[in-house]
């Protein structure tokens, strides 16, 4: 078993949180090779984050939440890996959007709610980051629900900023400050 310090663990998790957002590259560039690579990097990052943070979340006291979080992120990351593979074939490229729009988003939301609840319960990061993450995820859930029923307003793009900014702040916090253990 490899052991790493909590400072190094926090730094790696911060880097992985930022790497998970690289999947947005394909939507912006439509570059197939870059899309495949970034979807795979993103998917692997999403899978590794819960594995690294598992001991920090004190699974003895937060067993159900911690295991639900790990499962949710594993499914989310696996969907991202498939999304990257679907880009390779023009006949299956459309499935990537289906994966992200119709499946991935729900696992992202459930994973994020559990992630920030566990942060709140364990208090290993400042409470304001946890609370901001919970509120931002609930906003994302509301947006996703409205879109599910056919309502998609331009303001929804702006309302995505709280979760993105929160995760960037969290990543930077972890890379600089680490966990309060």
Which pLDDT tens digit goes with each residue over 156-176?
A: 999 999 999 999 999 999 999
Pick 116 or 1 by higher pLDDT. Answer: 116
For the cut 60, the answer to whether the pLDDT of residue 1 exceeds it is no
| pTM of the shown model | 0.92
Distance CA 137, CA 68 (A): 17
Among 42, 49, 53, which Cα is nearest to 20's? 42
Distance CA 92, CA 33 (A): 15
Neighbours of 151 (CB within 10 A): 10
* Cβ atoms of 22 and 62 closer than 8 Å: no
For the cut 70, the answer to whether the pLDDT of residue 2 exceeds it is no
* Residue 27 confidence (pLDDT): 85
Average pLDDT value for residue range 63-91:
95
**Computed from CA positions of residues 104, 108, 114, 118, in that sequence, does the dihedral angle turn out positive or negative?**
positive
Phi-psi map region of 58: left, alpha, beta (phi>0 left; psi -120 to 50 alpha):
left
* Residue 60 confidence (pLDDT): 86
Distance CA 43, CA 151 (A): 29
Among 49, 38, 37, 63, which Cα is nearest to 12's? 49
DSSP label of 5: -
Query: Out of 11-20, 66-75, 120-129, 152-161, which region has the weakest mean confidence (pLDDT)?
Result: 152-161
Query: Out of 41-45, 128-132, 149-153, 164-168, which region has the weakest mean confidence (pLDDT)?
Result: 149-153
């Amino acid at each position: 078993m490899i052991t790493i310090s909590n400072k190094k663990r926090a730094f790696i998790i911060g880097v992985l949180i930022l790497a998970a957002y690289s999947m947005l590259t394909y939507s912006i560039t439509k570059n197939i090779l870059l899309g495949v690579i970034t979807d795979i990097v993103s998917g692997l990052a999403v899978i590794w984050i819960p594995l690294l943070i598992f001991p920090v979340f004190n699974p003895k006291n937060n067993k159900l939440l911690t295991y639900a979080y790990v499962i949710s992120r594993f499914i989310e990351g696996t969907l991202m890996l498939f999304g990257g593979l679907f880009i390779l074939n023009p006949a299956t490229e459309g499935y990537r959007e289906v994966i992200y729009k119709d499946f991935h988003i729900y696992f992202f939301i459930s994973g994020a709610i559990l992630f920030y609840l566990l942060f709140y319960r364990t208090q290993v990061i400042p409470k304001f980051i946890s609370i901001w993450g919970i509120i931002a995820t609930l906003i994302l859930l509301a947006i996703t629900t409205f879109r599910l029923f056919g309502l998609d307003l331009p303001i929804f793009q702006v309302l995505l900023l709280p979760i993105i900014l929160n995760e960037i702040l969290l990543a930077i916090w972890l890379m600089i400050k680490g966990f309060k253990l």
